[in-house]
Amino acid sequence: MCQACGCSLKAHVDPEGSEQERGQRTVIDVMQNLLAANDRVAVHNREHFDEHGVLAINLMSSPGAGKTALLEATIATLRDRYRIAVIEGDLETDNDAVRIRALGVPALQITTGTACHLDAQLVHRALHDLPLDGLDLLFIENVGNLVCPASFDLGQHRNVTLLSVTEGDDKPEKYPVMFRVSDLVVLSKADLLGVLDDFNPERAAAALRALGRDTPMIQTAARRVLALAPWLNWLEEQLAEERAVVPAELA
């Protein structure tokens, strides 16, 4: 479990209260302090992105949902029209960054060790080695995890969560925090729907709507049969929208 976000904290006995009450207070206090410090850095990161007209997207999912494959297909399609960079987050290895660099795109690898998510400070450090001038799109591929990444603002403009059809269609119901913070849900590996009978996109959409947000869900396929049009259209719309609201003094 993660030592950086409080999810591994143990309860401590308190003479003035039960062990359970003391443990709950400890977790709440630590999380509030962590998130407050993180949010301050996230605001600073977002100021950097806005100053350079960069749309920053936090890409989240469980491990193996196809984040890197989607990025590879996206880069191959858009690299002649937009300048793209990627920040990769994993516990170990630079495997994903190597894949992205092979497409001629800057990719910085953050290895978190035992931490189950990226945070704003880690992203801020990476930005020192990333040329934001002239950049259009920055993808931050978070650590594969449907829990902790949802709680940490990185300074991104949009949260995108992948839900692979090889997973259960009840994931939005099981992991509500992740899907509530999502601006878009990408149903990945949709080309496999024809051979899988235990994933129903309508059930997934219903579970998403039950969270009380009108979050759009689109289908993509990035491997055998490319199906990217809805995703690419959404990206272009978000980039145009974000640049239209950048404060005049930063434009």
147-174: pLDDT as tens digits: 999 999 999 999 999 999 999 999 999 9
Distance of CA 61 to the CA centre of its chain: 7
Work out how many domains the chain is built from and give that number. Answer: 1
Report which of 59, 58, 71, 64 is spatially closest to residue 164, judged by C-alpha positions. Answer: 64
- 14 located within any domain: no
- 12 located within any domain: no
Distance, in Å, from the CA atom of 110 to the CA atom of 80, rounded to the nearest integer, reads 26
Distance, in Å, from the CA atom of 224 to the CA atom of 85, rounded to the nearest integer, reads 24
Residue 214 sits in a domain whose CATH number is: 3.40.50.300
CA distances from 99 to 75, 77, 110 (A): 11, 15, 14
List all residues 6 or more positions away from 180 whose beta carbon is below 8 Å from its beta carbon: 150, 211, 212, 213
**pLDDT per position as a tens digit, 38-59:** 999 999 999 999 999 999 999 9
- 5 located within any domain: no
Confidence check: pLDDT of 220 > 70:
yes
Query: Partners of 164 in the beta sheet?
Result: 188
- 157 located within any domain: yes
Burial letters 45-74, b for 16+ CB under 10 A, else e: bbebbbebbbbbbbbbbbeebbbbbbbbbb
- 8 located within any domain: no
**pLDDT per position as a tens digit, 84-119:** 999 999 999 999 999 999 999 999 999 999 999 999
Q: How many CB atoms lie within 10 A of CB 214?
A: 7
- 201 located within any domain: yes
**pLDDT per position as a tens digit, 116-130:** 999 999 999 999 999
Domain coverage including residue 112: 19-250
- 2 located within any domain: no
- 66 located within any domain: yes
Strands 184-188 and 107-111: unpaired
